Structure 1
């Protein structure tokens, strides 16, 4: 199927062609026609599946079919959980709308509001925003949502995880009841279904990939190692493998900072990205990583959510997450779009329960090795069967089942 067969206009097709896209992804095939028909949509799709175009293209077309007024009130709102995702959605939307005459803008916290407010005053058709900054500017009467015709909640599951549910409900209350609503989430968890039921009207349900397909292109491996030797081992892997683009995950912000500094001392270009970093620092680090100026990006889970890094070959879990579903998010950043990828986890004795929880979630054993010179001295004790020491999960007991389905989708 071609983009033209989906019912998109020649103006949009020109923008798509300029970006080098020729064939729509599965989520685009399913979502675009439904949106163009004016239907509410509940979609299951992760970053890397082409979901942004799945909602941006039809919204741009619907908006461009109506007269553009001189004042340009906000007619379409896209809510995202993180600054990085907001910036990426804005960049893509602006490129798609290049030949339509529509204006797009992005607002998020972590930076001064002056330039964002100035941009809003010029008139905006499509606004991409994080909930906190949006409500802040609305309360200052610097923007209005009374003429919004289209609402998109992007990565709604992560917004719920980050505690944005009250903000989301507040935003919805500020908009007209009659509008077209689109909700994109990695899973259809009970929480997401409950949220969808509050504002979606008889939605069309679409998914980015059929259930039970596997991520064959992600090669997963565990190295058993003492905690004290993890830094030395990861440096050895990077140097000997001559790796130049590695995304490393830590559990904490301070841990990310310390590890990035240790890489730098070993002449490995590295930067940390987490919630305590300024937006400018995060943007600079990500751009440097994408261009190759930075070889290693050390990140926490929340900061990395929404990062879309094409052709990422290596993901390393310096520490395993205590929530198995977060492991799925982490390794899903490699092995995308037909490219092979490697996901390595450095596991110390105190993390065995986390490893078993991940394996149970994935219904598979992950290949485990011990490297010469890094033989662990700590006992690798198994969790007790009675408690199973299952890592505490956030957001309810059904997340493991949904995470398993997500892992099985091709990234």
Structure 2
């Protein structure tokens, strides 16, 4: 129970209304140490409740330590995308419902006057994308000197998007903070480790592995495709027969518009891409979340940050640029223990990803065929690199356990 984590009754009441009866693995591991004031370096799979894992201890700290000066923003959450910022903001407002705490969201694509009014209100918690927030810092519209708690959510994605220097500068503005937390889908990259070394002080490292109940129950398979026409036929087969709510990923804006023009007259669909006006992005997501549109067509700008319940299918019309991006894409379905289906449409030049995805996910990635849409060509043969013979016996390593250690 959340009450056993020594959270205030107001927070527990709000969490119960949100439908969360028991803390998830990452919440049980992070919240106690975060409430003690430790810096946190956490790796957690998508869809396992990591947002509440940092929001709840922040809110508890703000309740336990009221403002010393009127009108200061004391907690800052940096996220890589506008969609994620808005969703973290929604969850923060839900958690704060029965308290006097306030939060605000700053992202690109919003009128600067609106931003100024929000920053002038000095919310207790600010959720922001790095680029827009730093613009306000440079214009002296935002002062981070009173920030006491800093969170970097999806730090690996921020690195991928080229935000590292800006994040360092924002952290420098908040140099008097008491606590920092970093969350990432992986802790193995040099960039994330450098972030941690520079921004965290003696952090507790948490590798949260979901329980069986929390793990995504996502069926995964692929179809070998002869060409673009074959891929389009397979896509339309799924969209016409199987999906309740589907996200279709493509690799470029050009491909997105090609598909949009072909599908728009046949299906209830919306699309999402980079450099899209914020009001249009919000409108598209609102229609998809409400069910008015059953299909969301998007580029990898939305591979993270979309948290829509009950997405039945993810279809990879084009394969992503990496196995980690694949994992984030399919994480849009099968969230929080729900069932989901991930289908990939693979041409010969992308067939190399079959083995890469199997090795990365440590799960079987098998082909399927549909009567009337069977491929004419066979899968290409992949040349396996010979491995040097290892000397001595291999040591068995225990996998799949929660790890929690102090550096």
**Shared topology, TM-score over 0.5?**
yes
Separation (CA, whole Å) in 2 of partners of 1:8 and 1:285: 36
> Is 1:6 aligned to 2:14, yes or no?
no
> Residue in 1 aligned with 2:394?
none
Q: Is the 8 A contact 2:245 2:310 kept in 1?
A: no
> Residue in 2 aligned with 1:194?
194
Mapping of 1:113-152 within 5 angstroms?
A: 113-152=112-151
Could you say what secondary structure the match of 1:337 adopts? Answer: helix
Deviation for aligned residue 1:178: 4.3
Against the structure 1 CA distance between its residues 240 and 80, is the aligned structure 2 distance closer, same or farther, given a 3 Å change threshold?
A: same
> Residue in 2 aligned with 1:391?
none
Separation (CA, whole Å) in 1 of partners of 2:335 and 2:215: 9
Could you say what secondary structure the match of 1:62 adopts? Answer: helix
Q: Is the 8 A contact 2:244 2:311 kept in 1?
A: no
Deviation for aligned residue 1:251: 0.8
> Residue in 2 aligned with 1:293?
292
Query: What is the aligned residue count?
Result: 388
Deviation for aligned residue 1:71: 3.3
> Residue in 1 aligned with 2:220?
220
Separation (CA, whole Å) in 1 of partners of 2:241 and 2:19: 35
> Residue in 2 aligned with 1:394?
none
> Residue in 2 aligned with 1:204?
204
Separation (CA, whole Å) in 1 of partners of 2:285 and 2:316: 18
How far does the alpha carbon of each residue in 1:282-336 deviate from its partner, in whole angstroms, 9 at most, with x for none? 1111111111111110111222311111121111111111312211111122222
Could you say what secondary structure the match of 2:264 adopts? Answer: helix
> Residue in 1 aligned with 2:338?
339
> Is 1:22 aligned to 2:45, yes or no?
no
Deviation for aligned residue 1:117: 1.1
Could you say what secondary structure the match of 2:38 adopts? Answer: coil
> Residue in 2 aligned with 1:72?
71
Separation (CA, whole Å) in 2 of partners of 1:384 and 1:20: 50
Could you say what secondary structure the match of 1:106 adopts? Answer: strand
> Residue in 1 aligned with 2:252?
252
Q: Is the 8 A contact 1:225 1:374 kept in 2?
A: no
Separation (CA, whole Å) in 2 of partners of 1:135 and 1:146: 14
Mapping of 1:99-178 within 5 angstroms?
A: 99-178=98-177
Deviation for aligned residue 1:387: 11
Q: Which runs of 5+ in 2 are unaligned?
A: 388-398, 403-407
Against the structure 1 CA distance between its residues 216 and 27, is the aligned structure 2 distance closer, same or farther, given a 3 Å change threshold?
A: closer
Deviation for aligned residue 1:263: 1.4
Q: Is the 8 A contact 1:77 1:148 kept in 2?
A: yes
Separation (CA, whole Å) in 2 of partners of 1:344 and 1:116: 40
Separation (CA, whole Å) in 1 of partners of 2:303 and 2:113: 27
CA-atom RMSD, angstroms? 2.4
Against the structure 1 CA distance between its residues 351 and 209, is the aligned structure 2 distance closer, same or farther, given a 3 Å change threshold?
A: same
> Residue in 2 aligned with 1:398?
none
TM-score (norm 1): 0.88
How far does the alpha carbon of each residue in 1:331-358 deviate from its partner, in whole angstroms, 9 at most, with x for none? 1222222221111111122221222322
Separation (CA, whole Å) in 1 of partners of 2:292 and 2:386: 46
Q: Which runs of 5+ in 1 are unaligned?
A: 389-404
Deviation for aligned residue 1:210: 5.9
